[in-house]
A and B are shown apart, each in its own frame.
Chain A
Amino acid sequence: MTLQQEIAAAYRVDDSAGTPLRRLLGAREFGVFAATIVIFVVCAIGADGFLATDNLLSIAQQIAILGIVATGMTFLVIAGEIDLSVGSLHGFLAVELAWLVTKVGVPIGTAAPLAILTGAAVGLVNGLITTKFKIPSFVVTLAALSVLRGAALLLANGVPVRGSRDSAFIGLVSGTPLPHLAAQVLWLVAIVAIGAYVLTKTKFGFDVYSVGGNRSAAAGAGIPADRVKISCFALTGALTGVASVILVGWLGSANPLTGNGFELGVIAAVVVGGAGLAGGTGSLLGTLLGAVITGVITNALVLFGVDGNWQQVATGALILAAVMLNQLVARRSPHRRH
């Protein structure tokens, strides 16, 4: 090749996305996808009873709760913020729902939307404080974590509250419309699909990425940065409410200690899915795979007979490994196409 040809080749213009194979291998989620397969296979071979239908169904139900909250958290992390209060909020909203139904006598059809609205309102407050007082969101939501846990215990008087007995409600949120298919999973798939559509196709989704990637540039381009961030907080709160509604339908009661440490699992799913905590990167497909990995590992540890206390260690190690891996990938591939 002559020098001129080489220069021409270097400046070859190609705006296509590339061949399907290249797109698959080049996708940000490919690494997570491969890891999911490997972990699944290892668990299937190593852990007795992992592939049992009941066990897989139970994993799916666990993942659904985690994944729904992680969907909101993905928006928030991409927008450059974080919410540490989702575990406490999950518990508080579950108690609120059970309390409304059992102690106040509100019909479940009203109480469930009310719980979701409460979640959105809590997210709104977190977002307003974060953006208007310019306090880092991890501080604001760390305070909220404590406040909401206390509120849950106060509202429930420290003991579990019985939930709704409405069979239509229970069937809707946690039934089995088909054998071996839990309703929770359908909810998760629907929420992730809608979320992914909003994030990748709508103006709001573009704004979320822009605000998280470079807040001042986004604001300079006329994007209402604070409003975008606050919306993501509210969305996370609302989806935490959805998860609480499903949980109460599924378990039939609400324990005020529900969701203790849950935020770590949610954040683990998001960062394992490839979202950077600095903001601006991440995807819902990645988060879904991250939730599957987190759920499968947690389940496998139980099956392997590992002490429950080690699960926290495992979650922490998973977050750390994922963040380090993300950092490595980000440093190596600035030229990757989208």
Chain B
Amino acid sequence: MPLFEAVGVRKRFGGVDALRGVDFSIEPGEVVGLMGDNGAGKSTLMKVIAGAYRPDEGELRMDGEPCAFTGPRAAADHGIAVVYQDLGLVDERTVAANVFLGQEPRRFGVVDGRRMRAEARQVLDQLRIRIPSVRMPVAGLSGGQRQCIAIARAVHRGGRLVLLDEPTAALGPQQQDNVLSLIKDLKKQDKAVVVVSHNVDHVLAVADRVVVMRGGMVSGVRRVAETTAAEVVGLILGDTAAFALDGAQDSQGETP
């Protein structure tokens, strides 16, 4: 059963159809690359999944149960975690404080710093993220490390479906590799990961499936094992005949 499904999602902004009946689904332990040109609707779809937008039509299902997200908090309570491109880190605060931002553990009404550091280290180890000390302010870390900390926070919050917005943009090659291997680790822990990206190589390197959007619709779904970068780029640009597969059906039949 898919972890999350969106069926027939439509969203209009004024006179613009941002989403025109989108079907999308993802299994636990699956990595899906969400691609498309600017204005294709992938950001809107992501915000609908994250609970930031309410769809005008269509249904969202978590574990097969229909659910309507009243806001980002409701989506988070259902296990959906989003890492936006700006990462949402507080530079001056320590790694541990950022992992626990807004949800610091308390003992007798006092923030339990010791437990925060120990648990933060545990999450970092679990995701094989290398940080010399959880007492370091995140301002002193590299872009890749910062991305990893933002992802660690999403996982620590109990995210079962992790949405990553351009996780490898603005990173050096080494750091991009670190982030990509972190995504593979998330997959091993049975997390569902949606990677929104413009970078075809990165998506093909980590994803199981690629969902390409164009003009507010899903223009193509491909298994990474059976496609090529050229074909995906063709789908994004609309040059290739697009066989819009039903995402939900697709994943029911042939999950890896």
Contact = CB atoms under 8 A, between A and B. Distances in A.
A333 to B, nearest CB: 8
Nearest to A337: B135
Interface in B80-116: 84, 86-94, 97, 101-104, 106, 109-111
B73 A222 contact: yes
Given A217-B101, A222-B102, 11 more contacts: A11-B130, A13-B132, A13-B133, A14-B132, A15-B121, A207-B102, A209-B90, A213-B90, A213-B92, A334-B139, A334-B140
Nearest to A276: B92
A202 B110 CA distance: 5
A206 B136 contact: no
B88 A216 contact: yes
A217 B90 contact: yes
B200 interface: no
B133 A15 contact: yes
A210 B89 contact: no
Interface residues on A, range: 20 to 34
A3 interface: no
Contact of A12 (B88, B117, B132): B132
Contacts of B133: 13-15, 337
Contacts, number: 92
B93 A220 contact: no
Interface in B133-184: 133-137, 139-140
Interface in A216-240: 216-218, 220-223
B117 A221 contact: no
A335 B145 CA distance: 14
Nearest to A221: B102
Given A206-B111, A213-B90, A214-B90, A335 B140 contact: yes
Given A11-B130, A214-B88, A338-B135, A201 B93 contact: no
Given A202-B111, A221-B88, A338-B94, A210 B135 contact: no
A11 B117 CA distance: 17
Contacts of A132: none
Nearest to A225: B102
Interface of A: 10-15, 17, 201-203, 205-207, 209-210, 213-214, 216-218, 220-223, 280-281, 334-338
Contact of A213 (B93, B104, B131): B93
B253 to A, nearest CB: 37
B102 A15 contact: no
A280 B136 contact: no
B111 to A, nearest CB: 6
Interface string B27-70: 00000000000000000000000000000000000000000000
Interface of B: 72-73, 84, 86-94, 97, 101-104, 106, 109-111, 117-118, 121, 130-137, 139-140
A215 to B, nearest CB: 9
Contacts of B92: 209, 213, 280-281
B90 A218 contact: yes
Nearest to B100: A206
A223 B135 contact: no
A336 B97 CA distance: 15
Nearest to B109: A202
A280 B91 contact: yes
A210 B94 contact: no
A217 B89 contact: yes
A336 B90 CA distance: 15
Nearest to B96: A15
Nearest to A336: B137
A203 B73 contact: no
12 contacts: A12-B132, A15-B121, A15-B133, A202-B109, A203-B104, A203-B106, A210-B101, A217-B101, A221-B102, A222-B102, A334-B140, A337-B136
A199 to B, nearest CB: 11
Given A209-B90, A223-B102, A203 B111 contact: yes
A16 to B, nearest CB: 8
A338 B137 contact: yes
